[in-house]
Amino acid sequence: MTTETTDTKKSHKKSEDVGVVGLVLEGVLTAIRGWFDSAKMSIERAIADAMIRIARQVFVFFLALLGIAFLLFGLAKTLSFLFQTPGVGEMVVGFIVLAMAFILSLFTQERK
């Protein structure tokens, strides 16, 4: 009977040790899971903010291009009216735009 009591005490003590170790491991795993969840939420929030910022910039860029197109068209019509010759304003504005594109391409070329 003493061996049975000793075996019972040993098995009861081992189950207590496993319970404490299990609780500690569960706490550590919960902390790690919480850290990963917060990192995941932070990344998702950063991606959502970046997508909103990109969409806003694309919309503003589109509006700016539309405004520039109307301004250039109006300038061309005004120049055609001032010179009293049809098409001269469009040619002048076209040359100005081509010159700007050429100058910008010189500044954006990569140095070799």
Q: What is the pLDDT along the chain (112 residues), one digit of tens a residue?
A: 455 555 555 555 555 556 777 888 888 889 899 999 999 999 999 999 999 999 999 999 999 999 999 999 999 999 999 999 899 999 999 999 999 999 988 888 766 5
What's the pLDDT score for residue 108? 83
Distance between CA atoms of residues 37 and 81, nearest Å: 66
> Which domain, by its residues, includes 78?
2-108
Paired tokens of 44: 């998702």
- In the block, tokens 């250039």 appear at 72
Distance between CA atoms of residues 28 and 24, nearest Å: 6
Residue positions counted in the chain = 112
Long-range contacts of 50-58 (CB under 8 A, 24+ apart): none
For 43, 65, 77, 88, 89, the CA distances from 93, given in Å and listed in that order, are 47, 15, 10, 9, 6
What's the pLDDT score for residue 12? 52
Q: Please give the tally of structural domains in the chain.
A: 1
Paired tokens of 49: 């903010």
